[in-house]
């Protein structure tokens, strides 16, 4: 019995609390960049936790480096 393959839908389902951003950046006469981003509130919180964890680790490394030099 062959397995049926599902086709991905053309439209991406959006989250009801999704935050969207679209930008156009122009550099000079010939360069133009367009971009967009989507994130949910849970994604914002997760990104904040990840940044805080990295800053904590970098702070620990910086303080241990100062102790070794003394």
Answer yes or no: is 2 within a domain. no
Answer yes or no: is 7 within a domain. no
Query: What pLDDT, in 10s, does the model give residues 2-49?
Result: 565 555 555 666 667 888 899 999 998 899 999 998 899 999 999 999
The reported pLDDT for the residue numbered 6 is 56
* CB count in 10 Å sphere of residue 39: 14
> What is the pTM assigned to this prediction?
0.55
- Domain total of the chain: 1
Report how far residue 6's alpha carbon sits from residue 10's, in angstroms, rounded to the nearest whole number. 12
Report how far residue 63's alpha carbon sits from residue 24's, in angstroms, rounded to the nearest whole number. 41
Answer yes or no: is 31 within a domain. yes
The residue range of the domain holding 38 is 19-69
């Amino acid at each position: 019995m062959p397995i049926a393959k599902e086709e991905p839908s053309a439209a991406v389902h959006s989250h009801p609390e999704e935050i969207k951003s679209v930008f156009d950046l122009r550099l000079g006469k010939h360069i133009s960049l367009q971009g967009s981003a989507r994130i949910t509130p849970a994604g914002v919180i997760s990104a904040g936790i990840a940044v805080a964890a990295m800053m904590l680790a970098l702070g620990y490394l910086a303080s241990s480096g100062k102790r070794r030099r003394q």
